Every structure is written in structure tokens, then in C-alpha cells.
């Protein structure tokens, strides 16, 4: 099975981005129509955030594109990427600060780390938390694809957290998805679009490391497969209280989502009960 999956990914990585996004749009709608559970969650979460059914439906194709673009991003030629707000990164690095990037499940969050690595990673690499794929066939593929010049991975363990802290103190960058539900005991309940969601406290802990500068960012997927635009915003300082800090982060993620709600992954189970710690 593994060789076949690797072969398929290699083949799809050769396709132009517009073709992959067209295939992804079909995939997204197929998933939406065939899975009532997926459909209910997507519509309910968008409604919870105050968005119309029209916005929710526009996100269906974008969710499919998120999957279909992965072979190209992981194994193919570099894709076109523009920047908006890169001066915030340059200012932080000029001051000798480590940079903590907080990125929601919005647009193409895979491209934000890759784009940073290509532009800034030679001097200050980025480290991202990495949980190996559950399927053995995908494990080696994903691991190899995410290890590249200027981009490092850290395991979701205590040793991985120490690696992130070390990177920030050295003036390098760390990337997190703060709207990802952490294991039980590693978060607090804080409002997200008007409903309590279990929110990681790791972001606030990392923000206290050295002279860390916190930035929020997201990768906008441009229409017709034209590439991506990485947006960077200043953020902080974070409250020392973990509950208040979690609320600050959730509000910052909400503000990013409002920039382009049709590209948010509304199907993500943001309000689930946290899984038990391993």
C-alpha cells in the first residue's frame, strides 16, 4: 500500500496548481454531499460564528483544495507566493527576537511555514510541532515532505516542547496552530466565536521564552490556482494568566478568520472534548 500511495502523490505533484485546485473543489463537494456528519458540523460551526449558509458553502470547495494541493506542496516544484506584512518578521529578527507564529486552520496553513523557510529560513529556521500520521503508509511520506532547508519539525512530546523553547531563545522561529485541540490537561476552556473551546496553553508558555515576538499569520489561497499570499500581523503582548491569554489568542484567530471566512476549515471539530493525554 505504501509504495502505491507514494507513487500517486508523486504523480499528482507534477500537476499544475489550477488542476489540483479544480480536482480539490470536486473532492470537497463529494465529501460534503456523501457525509451527513461532515455536512452538519461544517454548517453548524459556520452558523455558530455568525456566517450565512452561503459563506459555509463557499468553504466546501476550499476544504477540498486544502487536500488536493498537498502533493504539489510536499513533493512538487515551488509554487508562487507573495507576502503582506513581512516587515514584521524583519523587524523582529533585526532586534534579535525569536518569532512565534500563530496560524489558524485558515487558507493554506502548510504554505506559511514553507514560505517562511524559503525567504527567512537560511539564517533563522522555523520549527513546527509534528504529529506523525497514524497510517504507516503516510508516515514516511509526510515526515520527509516536512523536513526541508529552513524548516524543522519537533515531536508532540515534552522533548519537542523543549526544542521549541530552545529555538525561540536562539532567535529562530516557531510555528503553531493554536486552534488545534490539545490533549486533556494541556489547555483551558476559552470562548471561540461565542462558544467555549478547549484551547492550548502552549502558545502562551512559548511567548514567555526569551525576547519572543508573537505574530499571527495565514496563507491566502488565490483564485484560479495563481498561488498564495502570506499575511502577517503583529500581536501581543499576551496576558500572564493562561485563561486570559487563551481568550486573547482565540480573539486574534477570530479576527484572521473574518478576513476570509470562506477559507476557514469549518469542518474541523474545534469544540470537541479534548483527547486523553498519552
Is residue 67 included in any domain, yes or no? no
- 62 domain-assigned: no
pLDDT above 80 (res 81): yes
Sorted by sequence, the CB contacts under 8 Å of residue 34 that are 6+ apart come out as none
Q: Flag whether 172 is in a domain.
A: yes
Confidence of residue 4 (pLDDT cuts 50, 70, 90): confident
The answer, yes or no, to whether residue 210 has pLDDT greater than 90, is: no
Task: Flag whether 57 is in a domain.
Answer: no
Count of domains forming the chain: 1
User: What is the pLDDT at residue 48?
Assistant: 97
Give the model's pLDDT for residue 147.
75
pLDDT tens-place string over residues 145-185: 777 889 998 888 889 999 999 999 999 999 999 999 999 99
Work out the percent of the chain whose per-residue pLDDT is above 90: 78
Domain ranges, residue 97: 80-263
66 in any annotated domain = no
Reported as a pLDDT band with limits 50, 70 and 90, residue 28 is very high
pLDDT band with cut points at 50, 70 and 90 for residue 30:
very high
Alpha helices in the chain (DSSP H): 2-12, 17-34, 36-48, 53-68, 70-75, 86-94, 109-120, 136-146, 158-169, 202-207, 242-259
Adjacent-strand bridge partners of 223: none
Residue 61 lies in a domain: no
Has residue 90 got a pLDDT over 90? yes
Amino acid at each position: 500500500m505504501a509504495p502505491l500511495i507514494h507513487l500517486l502523490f508523486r504523480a499528482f505533484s507534477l500537476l499544475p496548481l489550477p488542476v489540483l485546485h479544480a480536482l480539490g473543489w470536486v473532492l470537497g463537494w463529494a465529501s460534503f454531499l456523501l457525509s451527513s456528519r461532515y455536512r452538519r458540523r461544517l454548517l453548524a460551526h459556520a452558523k455558530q460564528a455568525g456566517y450565512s449558509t452561503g459563506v459555509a458553502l463557499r468553504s466546501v470547495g476550499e476544504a477540498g483544495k486544502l487536500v488536493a494541493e498537498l502533493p504539489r506542496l510536499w513533493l512538487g516544484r515551488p509554487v508562487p507566493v507573495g507576502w503582506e506584512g513581512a516587515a514584521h518578521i524583519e523587524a523582529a529578527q533585526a532586534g534579535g527576537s525569536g518569532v512565534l507564529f500563530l496560524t489558524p486552520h485558515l487558507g493554506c496553513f502548510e504554505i506559511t511555514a514553507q514560505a517562511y523557510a524559503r525567504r527567512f529560513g537560511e539564517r533563522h529556521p522555523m520549527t513546527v510541532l509534528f504529529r506523525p500520521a497514524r497510517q504507516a503508509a503516510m508516515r514516511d511520506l509526510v515526515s520527509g515532505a516536512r523536513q526541508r532547508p529552513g524548516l524543522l519539525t519537533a515531536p508532540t512530546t515534552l522533548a519537542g516542547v523543549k526544542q521549541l523553547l530552545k529555538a525561540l531563545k536562539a532567535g529562530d522561529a516557531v510555528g503553531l496552530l493554536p486552534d488545534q485541540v490539545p490533549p486533556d490537561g494541556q489547555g483551558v476552556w476559552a470562548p471561540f466565536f461565542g462558544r467555549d473551546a478547549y484551547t492550548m496553553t502552549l502558545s502562551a508558555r512559548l511567548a514567555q521564552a526569551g525576547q519572543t515576538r508573537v505574530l499571527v499569520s495565514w496563507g491566502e489561497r488565490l483564485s484560479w490556482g495563481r498561488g498564495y499570499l502570506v499575511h502577517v500581523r503583529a500581536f501581543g503582548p499576551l496576558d500572564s494568566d493562561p485563561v486570559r491569554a487563551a481568550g486573547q489568542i482565540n480573539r486574534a484567530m477570530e479576527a484572521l478568520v473574518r478576513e476570509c471566512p470562506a477559507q476557514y476549515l469549518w469542518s474541523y471539530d474545534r469544540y470537541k472534548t479534548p483527547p486523553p493525554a498519552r
